[in-house]
Structure 1
Amino acid sequence: MTLHAEHDVLREPFAVLRDEVVVLHCLRPQDAEAHLAGEDEGQVRWLNEGHHSTLERVSAWIGENHGEWTDDGPRRHFGIFDRATKTLVGGVEANLGLLDGAPERVNLSYAVFPAWRGRGLAARAVLLVGHWLADRTPARTAVLRIEPGNDHSHRVAVACGFTRTGVVLADEVEFVCYERSLKDEMSG
């Protein structure tokens, strides 16, 4: 297993976002096992390009996420934590470099672990990150690219007020695209 230096993810340059139900912050090395335990076949298919994670892979990915924050990279990943229990329940990521390098457009992706789905947690996380992006980055439009069969993610897009804008083909995969202006700070 690869060990990474411990960063205080509750201080700058990291961000902590919260509402009355969830807290979002960069994952810590000690979150790797919980993240791995929460993975299901949907996440493997839609977020991991068909690869099952290992503890070593998740730990390395958490280290890469820390590097994105500390080196001012284009990606910002937040773990989604239940505020009452402090349990890791999923993740949300903003990628300012994915969509043709246009920093005014940000790709958002998200996942909630199976035991926590259906509670509106992904929508809360997307809205919190959208508000933060509007305030702290040059992004002006949030984009969701969702595979047609990913019903959970389509429901999140609708719940967050995104508008379906069409279908694109990326890396030979078809995605339904949704967009929402960040100018309204995605406040719901």
Structure 2
Amino acid sequence: MLISDGVIGLRPIEVADAAAHLAAQGREPVRPAAGPGTPNMVAEFERCVAEWADDGPHKTFAVVDVPARALAGTLDITLEPEFLAKRQADIRYGIYAPWSGRGVDGRTVVLACRYLARQDSADEAVLRIDPADTAAIALARHLGFHYHRSSSEPKGRLDWFIQAV
């Protein structure tokens, strides 16, 4: 395990996680020959694994329920994307329904910040949240993130919350 609090752990995503990811979303694995426009989740997971191998600025983690040894979600950290300042990291996470509402979201964000601090790869973590997602905003505030600004994105407005790591 890369980093854990004993309940939840973060580790680099693996291609083998694709099947559990799709099952958690109620979807079947898609083969590469599935047809035009059909997402190939295995290829996406292979790309994420390659980004780890290249030690690039984007890292996708498996969020793992440590006692159950089960995939509970995914976490993406992008270091210094073009829309952020130097030494800021964008954090995005998705927790699967069976783990939602059980504190996994908060533990995941805390572990992401610990990872950033241990790696000395960022000074601040940024959560960009849809303003309609009141639960995510409440969680950000509970974890000590403070509102920074709002931005208009192609998919709508996002509120930015920042915390030092």
* TM-score of the pair, normalised by structure 2: 0.85
**Residues in 2 aligned to 1:53 and 1:100: alpha-carbon distance in whole angstroms:** 34
- Which of 16, 33, 42 is the equivalent residue of 2:19? 33
User: Could you tell me whether the CA contact under 8 Å between 1:99 and 1:106 is conserved in 2?
Assistant: no
* DSSP 3-state at the match of 1:68: helix
Which residue of the partner structure matches residue 134 of structure 1?
Answer: 117
User: Could you tell me whether the CA contact under 8 Å between 2:10 and 2:62 is conserved in 1?
Assistant: yes
* DSSP 3-state at the match of 1:62: helix
- Greater strand proportion: 2
* DSSP 3-state at the match of 2:116: helix
User: Could you tell me whether the CA contact under 8 Å between 2:80 and 2:87 is conserved in 1?
Assistant: no
In structure 2, stretches of 5+ residues that fail to align are: 32-39
Deviations 1:111-156 (A, max 9, x none): 1101111111111111111111112143111111111222332233
1:18 corresponds to 2:4: yes
Evaluate the alpha carbon distance shift between residue 172 and residue 111 of structure 1 in structure 2; reply closer, same or farther with a 3 A threshold: closer
**Residues in 1 aligned to 2:82 and 2:122: alpha-carbon distance in whole angstroms:** 11
Question: 1:97 offset after TM fit, Å?
Answer: 3.8
Which residue of the partner structure matches residue 7 of structure 1?
Answer: none
**Residues in 2 aligned to 1:161 and 1:140: alpha-carbon distance in whole angstroms:** 15
User: Could you tell me whether the CA contact under 8 Å between 1:99 and 1:107 is conserved in 2?
Assistant: no
CA RMSD of aligned residues (A): 2.1
State which drifts further: 114-123 or 134-143: 134-143
- Which of 127, 130, 133 is the equivalent residue of 1:150? 133
* DSSP 3-state at the match of 2:141: helix
Evaluate the alpha carbon distance shift between residue 169 and residue 33 of structure 1 in structure 2; reply closer, same or farther with a 3 A threshold: same
What is the correspondence of 1:14-163 to structure 2 with a 5 Å cutoff?
Answer: 16-39=2-25, 55-56=30-31, 57-100=40-83, 102-163=85-146
* DSSP 3-state at the match of 1:95: strand
**Residues in 2 aligned to 1:134 and 1:181: alpha-carbon distance in whole angstroms:** 9
Question: 1:64 offset after TM fit, Å?
Answer: 1.1
In structure 1, stretches of 5+ residues that fail to align are: 1-9, 11-15, 41-51, 183-188
* DSSP 3-state at the match of 1:29: coil
Equivalenced residue count is 157
